[in-house]
Structure 1
Amino acid sequence: MNWNWFGDPDYWASRLVYQRMLAAIYLVAFVVALNQFRALLGEHGLLPVPRFLARVRFRESPSLFHLHYSDRFFTIVAATGALVSAVLLAGLADGLPIWAHMALWTVPWVLYLSIVNVGQIWYSFGWESLLLEAGFLTIFTGPSHIEPAVPMVWLLLWLLFRLEFGAGMIKMRGDRCWRDLTCLYYHHETQPMPGPLSWYFHHLPKPLHRVEVAANHVAQLVVPFALFAPQPVATVAACVVIATQGWLVLSGNFSWLNVVTITLAVSAVDGSLLPLSPPTLDEPPAWYRGVVLALFAGVAVLSYWPIRNLVGRTQLMNYSFNRLHLVNTYGAFGSVTRDRYEVIIEGTDAEEISPDTRWREYEFKGKPGDPYRRPRQIAPYHLRLDWMLWFVSLSPRYGARWLPELVTRLLSGDRQTLKLLRGNPFPDTPPRFVRARLFHYRYTTWQERRETRAWWVREPVGTVVRTCRLADDGTPVPVGLPD
């Protein structure tokens, strides 16, 4: 049998860049886990992993932590993932035999899968499954001394197609503003975590916003089909994806969602256009070809469920059909909120509460708080607590399991929890009382910005957590959400 069709050296450079970029994203993901897990998921976290493992079986949530859990072991898992990712990013695995290269790429996938499957709501975002699916496929892309396998290029493009087309379809089936081209009248102001340029994007002329939405529809509903066309059409399509995703990177903070999408698009670029020259490439062994073709067949079978979801009348958004997060369905912003609300947590060290009580606000690293503080660029890093507080601002039920515990940790001055915040307004002793209020936020106008130097205008509109304290014996007074 002639296997000339199986490899294509023109994708050597694009494969190399793709692998480096994905390794960098893995590295960020493991660093995020290292920095945040103790307060969120640790033995004394807001949603402790041991409590989760006690009620969920391995088959329902495959993870190394079913074998053993401790905060120290979690640290070892995340640190190992970061170390291996750094090795892959540095290209130290390029000269390995195929089997060793595959084994090394398997390590971060298994470790991150173990984290995601015990991460509960903190790891419930679509970009977690996206990283896992891309990471699994990358295991089989091969080291730099063999020809890139064409079936692997197709599988990466199929993932990119589902990601982009799914996002486009969920918009067309969702909020009416996507169909009448007005969603960007609101989105830059109400998105979960605005970036430093989001204020300026929001104030672009409305006709330009409509052009942006129309261009987005083309990029997500038409361009993905061109990814499977011969070169140079596929490269042009990939460049369109890269450009539109870069625009999203500039306009907001969406963790590594956009960066992974750009990384996948790189795999479609004709490598001969990149300033990298391939060495003399080896022909892959027969067993590797067999593994790749078996993987291709497996993905084809598993694709039944996301395809049915895409063509069905009730499309699911960001859903995994299996516990390994393989061949998922994707989508984003099927609906767009028209008004922005923020949960503002405050504390006081006053002995008693009165109308004259001075409350100090807890500032978070990414989410809006102080109207005079400019939104920061956070992505591709991910601030999990900040993101979840955006959901709480939409409905308190999103925080029913962990928000009372968060307030309790602030009352006790828990150091791990305070590390998730931008600063501690009570550096000497914990506050005596804590509360959480809901504020309506809107961007300042150009005139208001010139006059006040503020980025936001806000006003209180309700209560999320009533004023509460710790009992004299150190046990927390129950923190109740409002009826």
Structure 2
Amino acid sequence: MKILPFNFKKLQSTPNPLALWLFFRALSFIYFIAFFSLSFQILGLVGEGGILPASPFLHYVQDQIGWRRFFLVPTLFWIIPPTDPILYAGTFLGMFLAVLLFFNIAPALVSLFLWSLYLSYVSVGQIFFNFQWDGLLLECGLLSILSSPWKLHPGFKELTFPPSWATFIFRWLLFRLMLLSGIVKLESHDPTWRALTALKYHYETEPLPTPLAWYFYHFPMWFHETTTFIVLFIELVVPFAIFMGRLGRTVSFILFSLLQLLIILTGNHAFFNWITLALGFVLLDDSFLKKILPFFSKSPPMPCPKLQKKFSFFLILPVFLVSVLLFLESFSFPYPQWTVKLLSSFSALRSINNYGAFAIMTTRRPEIIIEGSTDGIEWKEFPFCWKPSDPHKAPVFISPFHPRLDWQMWFAALSTPKENPWFASLLSCLLHGKKEVIKLFKANPFPFSPPKYVRALIYIYEYSSWSEKKEKGLWWNRTLYGLYFPPASLIVNPQNQEARGIPPSTQWQVSIFEN
């Protein structure tokens, strides 16, 4: 069955060095933002006093799987222990490497270091690094190692012909990313997508909306139905235009870019949409780009380095084949057992992935509010930096910055504490007054000593009406739904000492207070 109507030989003979040059500059910016975001959060998330410390996690993995840990949890922190100074310094190293990549200094080698470093954080980050954009950044990073010039200093504005397959492999990634985003919506049988009402709910229930989302939400239903249809059309039909000549690529570039810009304007989805925008550069021909950037047309591109031209194809071939197998897996393609093992062996690298966001649209917005108390009677809220809490507080623009705890709280609100064991650890850190964790919040309501009790309430949030926003300054209305986590305190048992210097174990003492 012929699925993609493209001429592979034609694609091989028309690499676009300027388009890829622009993509690599955009990729360096996204790497910089990713590590910049981590520098504010990494110690509170997986530091020694964080919610899910990396060191105990690595010790547990080592005890469970032994030498296989190097393949199943690939991270440099097996060699360099993830102490707080190392974790923190690594984020600045990542930002420095991103700057080197931007200025085209040893691009392939720097890309290798960036990919290895980011993979190291993702591997020890546990639940806080389980986002699609982490995988997409790693996949783009892996491809950049193989397709950016294998030179030490090509020069910032010097263009180099990439390997013959380079343009195609990035277009193939963009094709999979967009098409699978539509496929998952159909396969989920979600009624809101089938009724074309999904976007009516999306603006209110997405994890971190922007101020514009409030206004989009109040547009009439015909607008939501029309735009939902357009989204499905762009994701399910337009990707095939990528392989239908210059006109098809131009149309797909315009429509993909408009969709990503709309998402960026109405929602803070970290750097996911920014990477997708960057991938759009590979759809443009250099002849068009040189009209916009004429200073690149003064000298012809340098030839592809001989070593890269000779060996890079053999390195990219298994990557491409695995991506094809994963793509077919989305359509329940039957595989022999050896193929399943092959896909499993590559999964730990998180660098060849399937994608698809918002397969099932949430139709209401539960939000968790964490509170502390010194007496069990008067409770004070731990305010989050970015997610909705105060009904009078307007949403903000923070993309491509990625607040990982705020995002994870959105997922936690859709399930139970038992399904989110990290949540109990978060509350434990608040009871211990761990500074790095408290820094993940907007403010500390207990600046002098930690609270004796903590609890978590769950509210249902709904956008305010036009009149409520104008007269009362309300962005949200919220209704108390119930108790997410009952009031709890800590009992410290100094006799139960864990190995390897882990602090004394803590046990929960859960008490229900009558209000």
Matched, 1:160 2:174: yes
* Cα displacement (A) at 1:477: 5.5
Given residue 53 of structure 1, which amino acid in structure 2 is its aligned partner? L
Deviations 1:415-474 (A, max 9, x none): 111111111122233223221101111111112222211011011111112112345999
State whether residues 54 and 125 of structure 2, in contact with CA within 8 Å, keep that contact through their aligned partners in structure 1: yes
Is the CA contact (8 Å cut-off) linking 1:339 and 1:441 kept in structure 2? Answer: yes
Deviations along 1:295-324, whole A, 9 cap, x unmatched? Answer: 34223321243222232289xxxx985211
Structure 1 residues 481, 189: CA separation in 2 closer, same or farther (over 3 Å shift)? Answer: farther
Change (3 A) 1:53 1:206: same
Question: Alpha-carbon deviation of 1:6?
Answer: 4.9
1:188 corresponds to: 203
Partner SS state of residue 350, structure 2: coil
- How far did residue 340 of structure 1 move? 0.6
Map Cα deviations across residues 233-289 of structure 1 (whole Å, 9 max, x no partner): 212211211110110001111111111111111121123323222433222233212
Equivalents in 1 of 2:406, 2:441: separation in Å?
9
- AA matched with 2:115: W
Is residue 465–residue 479 contact of structure 1 (8 Å, CA) maintained in 2? no
Aligned partners of 1:5 and 1:311: how far apart in 2? 26
Once the 2 structures are TM-superposed, how far is the Cα of residue 92 of structure 1 from its aligned partner? 4.4
* Residue identity matched to 1:194: P
Matched, 1:447 2:467: yes
- For 2:17, which of 8, 12, 19 is the aligned residue? 12
Aligned to 1:48: 53
Matched, 1:82 2:95: yes
In the TM superposition, residue 79 of structure 1 has moved relative to its aligned partner by 1.9
2:348 aligned residue (319, 323, 336): 323
TM-score of the superposition, structure 2-length normalised?
Answer: 0.85
Which residue is 1:130 aligned to?
Answer: 136
CA offsets, 1:1-27, max 9 Å, x none? xx9985647x23322221111101001
**Aligned mates of 1:15, 1:157 — CA distance in 2:** 11
CA distance in 1, matches of 2:482, 2:33: 37
The residue that corresponds to 1:368 in the other structure is 388
* Counterparts of 2:492 and 2:349, CA distance in 1: 47
Greater shift after overlay, 302-311 or 109-118?
302-311
The correspondence for 2:70, drawn from 36, 48, 58, is: 58
SS at structure 1 position matched to 2:216: helix
For residue 28 of structure 2, what is the amino acid of its counterpart?
A
> Which residue type is aligned with residue 309 of structure 1?
E
Q: Report the Cα offset of residue 73 of structure 1.
A: 2.0
TM superposition shift of 1:397? 3.9
**SS class of match (2:276):** helix
| Match of residue 231 from structure 2 | 216
Residue correspondence of structure 1 range 164-183 to structure 2 within 5 A: 164-174=178-188, 175-183=190-198
Which stretch shows the higher mean deviation, 298-307 or 39-48? 298-307
Check 1:481–1:116 CA distance in 2 against 1; reply closer, same or farther (3 A cut).
Answer: farther
Shift, 1:118, TM fit: 1.2
The within-5 A match list for 1:102-121 is 102-121=108-127
Structure 2 residue 474 is matched with structure 1 residue 478: no
Between 1:51-60 and 1:275-284, the stretch displaced more is 275-284
Shift of 1:126: 0.8
In structure 1, the residue matched to 2:500 is: none
The secondary structure found in structure 2 opposite 1:436 is strand
Which residue does 1:386 correspond to in 2? Answer: 406
Paired with 1:302 and 1:443, the residues of 2 have a C-alpha distance of 44
Render the CA deviation track for 1:216-244: whole Å, top value 9, x for unaligned: 11111111111122213212211211110
For residue 357 of structure 2, the aligned residue among 332, 337, 341 is 332
**Would you say the 8 A contact 1:435–1:467 is kept in 2?**
yes
Identity rate of aligned residues, in percent?
34
Determine helix, strand or coil for the equivalent of 1:402. Answer: helix
Q: 1:13 to 1:92 in 2, by over 3 A?
A: closer
- The one-letter amino acid of 2:459's match is F
- Per the alignment, residue 3 of structure 2 pairs with none
Q: CA contact under 8 A between 1:396 and 1:464: conserved in structure 2?
A: yes
Aligned residue number for residue 485 of structure 2: 465
2:279 is aligned with what amino acid? L
The Cα shift of 1:150 comes to: 4.0
TM-score of the pair, normalised by structure 1: 0.90
1:345 is the counterpart of 2:370: yes
Aligned length: 463
Q: Please, which of 133, 143, 147 is the counterpart of residue 141 of structure 1? A: 147
Which amino acid letter does the alignment assign opposite residue 256 of structure 1? F
Q: CA RMSD in A?
A: 2.4
| Aligned-residue offset at 1:60 | 0.9
2:451 maps to 1:431: yes
Q: Structure 1 stretch 137-146 or stretch 207-216: which is displaced more?
A: 137-146
In the other structure, the counterpart of 1:97 is none
- Pairing partner for 1:286 from 301, 306, 316: 306
CA distance in 2: counterparts of 1:44 and 1:414, whole angstroms: 6
Q: Which secondary structure does the structure 1 equivalent of 2:147 belong to?
A: coil
Residue 401 of structure 1: how far off its partner (Å): 2.0
TM alignment of 1:211-290, pairs within 5 A: 211-274=226-289, 275-276=292-293, 277-278=296-297, 279-290=299-310
Distance 1:481 1:77, change over 3 A: farther
Could you tell me whether the CA contact under 8 Å between 2:11 and 2:165 is conserved in 1? no
* Distance of aligned partners of 1:37 and 1:256 in 2 relative to their CA distance in 1, 3 Å threshold: same
Higher helix proportion: 2
Q: Secondary structure at the match of 1:62?
A: coil
Q: Is the 8 A contact 1:7 1:147 kept in 2?
A: no
- Write out aligned runs for 1:384-423 (5 A): 384-397=404-417, 400-423=420-443
Q: Which runs of 5+ in 1 are unaligned?
A: 94-99
